[in-house]
Amino acid sequence: MMKAKIMGIDGKAGKEVSLPEQFSEEFRPDLIKKAVLVQQSHNVQPYGTKPTAGTRQSAMLSKRRKAYKTVYGRGGTRTPKKVMTRRGLHMYYVGAFAPNTVGGRVSHPPKAAKIWDLKINIQERRKAIRSAIAATMDSGLVKKRGHTTESFVVEQKIEDLKKAKDVYDFLTKAGLEKELARIAIKKIRAGKGKNRGRPYRKKKGPLFVVSKKCALVQAARNLQGIDVCFVKDLNAELLAPGTNAGRLTLWSDKALEIMEKEGLFYTQEKKETKK
């Protein structure tokens, strides 16, 4: 059973507490990656062309010898054509409808009917979350992600902070000055993403895991790179952004109590045995 010290609101270490069984899960980067990609697929907005785009006009092609509007004997291509003007039986054509013509349809357009959501088995998803939870306490994985300090447990009073300044002061007292400096950097993105509503690249900072809806949710909103999540709403993407496990996570001691008491992220049978 893993143990950790609870850090007070003043930044000083307090009593030691045992971590729930979820923190003893084996590290499965393959499952974590799968669960994150599934989570990201649910945020994709479907897009596609109108099914009739480029085909809402009359176009024809006749190679018959004596048919009306035929192109027989003229050495013309087999591209569908529409008549612009005519002089007697002499037609003035222009290519239409086909993908190689102006205003024609697209050969292989994105389909709006495509199913974008990926799927994952329930037990796989739960195991991926447990694995990502355990990875937050692995100092090697946390530092590999670029964080400057390790994850730790905080007393429940952290949930009562009402101002961003108070949250910033607490993180400073907890020794996260370098981490705050790291996540304050904002760089201009390279490439066309600048034109698509995502001009900046920002780093992910600490994740606060709280027991319930509290003032901290609003207080931490204005701090760049910091997220707050209810313990029951944890998912693989929050714990392992970009499929890379080991995010710096600050756990509320009350959130850990709920996780252990309710057997979160285990199967129903496992939850019942814990009770």
Entry pTM:
0.85
**In the chain, alpha helices (H):** 29-41, 122-135, 139-144, 164-173, 177-183, 215-219, 236-239, 253-262, 268-274
pLDDT at position 24: 94
- pLDDT tens per residue across span 99-152: 999 999 999 999 988 999 999 999 999 999 999 999 999 999 999 999 999 999
- pLDDT tens per residue across span 231-251: 999 999 999 999 999 999 999
Helix (H, G, I), strand (E, B) or coil at 137: coil
